[in-house]
Structure 1
Amino acid sequence: MTDIHPREILITTIARLLDGVRHVAVGASSPIPAAGAMLLRALKQRAGAPPVRISILGSVEHNFFTNGSAELFDCAGQGRIDAFFLGGGQIDGHGNINLVGIGDYPASAPRWPGSFGSAYLYFVVPRVILFREEHSPRVLVETVDFTSAPGVSEPGIHRTGGPVALLTGKALFRFDKARPGFTLESLHPGHALAEVRDATGFSFDHAGQPPQTALPDRATLELLRGQVMDELAETYPEFASQMRREIHA
């Protein structure tokens, strides 16, 4: 098979994590999650399965909202969004995310863009996938410096949403809200368990020999490099061009 780009593994993994959703929403600066959602839609179309609706904030072609994030929040609160993606400057072992900054608030330095609607969406979207391409101890920490959105809630708090997985450039983790904590599901090609342990600031469960993250087959790869990249270019032209250059280098 043609050499597979590391980001193509992330995109196809996202498509698998989204399998079964009816409507997935993607933030404005999320080309890899958007590509994963588009790949799932393309695979369903090819199989003649029910269509998948994708809402990408900032896109003209792939967004049916007319009132931006306000409409996204209304839709999520009504239970009409099945999946969403959240990242963070910091993510800890309980699924808490920090989008504010490093150090004690309000003297955080550096400061990041802010929490925006992350806590609300974390509570109401049933399948939240945490995504951060960088996998390092400065991102994956034992405890976040500021909680923009909590991974779990105390008993008695009504919550229909929360994290189901954490995907990074090195590995895929599943989240168990009962513990709460992460379990390593698979390692991406070229990465070892010892390396992932060293790069992760929180503890996690794992099998003695974690499996490798599944690779896309030839047909899926062709679909991703053709139709999906064409669709992605409408919203993320620079990302799509860069991916094509690196694939054909």
Structure 2
Amino acid sequence: MREVHPREILIATIARLLDGVRHVAVGASSPIPAAGAMLLRAQKKRAGAPPVRLSILGSVEHNFFTNGSAELFDCAGQGRIDAFFLGGGQIDGRGNINLVGAGEYPGSTPRWPGSFGSAYLYFVVPRVILFREEHSSRVLVETVDFTSAPGTSEDGVYRTGGPAALLTGKALFSFDKTRPGFTLESLHPGHDLAEVKAATGFGFAHAGSPKQTEAPDRATLDLLRGQIMDELSETYPDFASRLRSETAA
């Protein structure tokens, strides 16, 4: 069996970040977050713990909604979704995300797909995990060019949700809404603090010697490479097939 793949570390990290949730929703085009949620569900089932419900948009097998995003929004507004994932073309040091485009709006170039319901979900889902595999200064910026959804709100604004963590292909950060800002929690294998600082457009708190992100153990890898890839292939067949081939003996 080959060594742990970087994406397997991301999937296992997501499962740990979701620990304790009852219901996690995953948006479209999100194979790594979906795999992390599936891994958590499988681990809890094996341990005899209370079940974890998944709602993966675009999936038939792993989605109990029948009316798409409308039901997702209703469920979130009622406080029945514990965790969700958001990304962005830009993410800044205050947890703001930009899904519209780079440069001054409305002349942004390039233009991205759009904000959709990101601002709403950011306000009502208690544990939002910001996920972007690319870790570069063009993505992680000091200040977003357009705010699709703010990381924090002024006093007096009713808000039950917000960012809990930022996970990238290089590192894991937690978010402190009282500062507000990010703290480096761990570096993924093969990456160091100097590299992460150089690739991050905003400042962040960190320990003198940051710890390394925990890699999945053999039992977790066996589960991930077997059952989880089987489940994931229903919604993301190309991703599951590619990851399987890259981790095959």
TM-score by length of 1: 0.99
Q: Does 1:181 align with 2:185?
A: no
User: Which residue pairs with 1:137 in the alignment?
Assistant: 137
Deviations 1:114-161, CA, capped at 9 Å, x for gaps: 000000000000000000000000000000000000000000000000
- Which residues of 2 match residues 71-86 of structure 1 at below 5 A? 71-86=71-86
User: Which residue pairs with 2:158 in the alignment?
Assistant: 158
User: Which residue pairs with 1:226 in the alignment?
Assistant: 226
Deviations 1:150-195, CA, capped at 9 Å, x for gaps: 0000000000000000000000000000000000000000000000
Q: Secondary structure at the match of 2:101?
A: coil
- Which residues of 2 match residues 50-65 of structure 1 at below 5 A? 50-65=50-65
Alpha-carbon shift at residue 243 of structure 1 (Å): 0.2
Q: Does 1:106 align with 2:106?
A: yes
Cα distance in 1 between the residues matched to 2:170 and 2:200? 10
Q: Secondary structure at the match of 2:151?
A: coil
What is the alpha-carbon root mean square deviation over aligned residues?
0.8
Cα distance in 1 between the residues matched to 2:212 and 2:5? 15
Contact kept in structure 1, 2:166 and 2:174, CA below 8 Å: yes
Alpha-carbon shift at residue 2 of structure 1 (Å): 4.3
User: Which residue pairs with 2:200 in the alignment?
Assistant: 200
User: Which residue pairs with 1:41 in the alignment?
Assistant: 41
Cα distance in 1 between the residues matched to 2:132 and 2:110? 18
Contact kept in structure 1, 2:2 and 2:247, CA below 8 Å: no
Alpha-carbon shift at residue 196 of structure 1 (Å): 0.1
User: Which residue pairs with 1:211 in the alignment?
Assistant: 211
Cα distance in 2 between the residues matched to 1:226 and 1:247? 11
Q: Secondary structure at the match of 1:221?
A: helix
TM-score by length of 2: 0.99
Quick one: which amino acid aligns to residue 77 of structure 1? G
Q: Secondary structure at the match of 2:39?
A: helix
Q: Secondary structure at the match of 2:211?
A: coil
Q: Does 1:14 align with 2:10?
A: no
Deviations 1:29-88, CA, capped at 9 Å, x for gaps: 000000000000000011010100000001000000011000000000000000000000
Alpha-carbon shift at residue 28 of structure 1 (Å): 1.1
Total equivalences in the alignment:
249
User: Which residue pairs with 2:236 in the alignment?
Assistant: 236
5+ long unaligned stretches in structure 1:
none
Contact kept in structure 1, 2:21 and 2:52, CA below 8 Å: yes
Q: Secondary structure at the match of 1:4?
A: coil
User: Which residue pairs with 2:191 in the alignment?
Assistant: 191
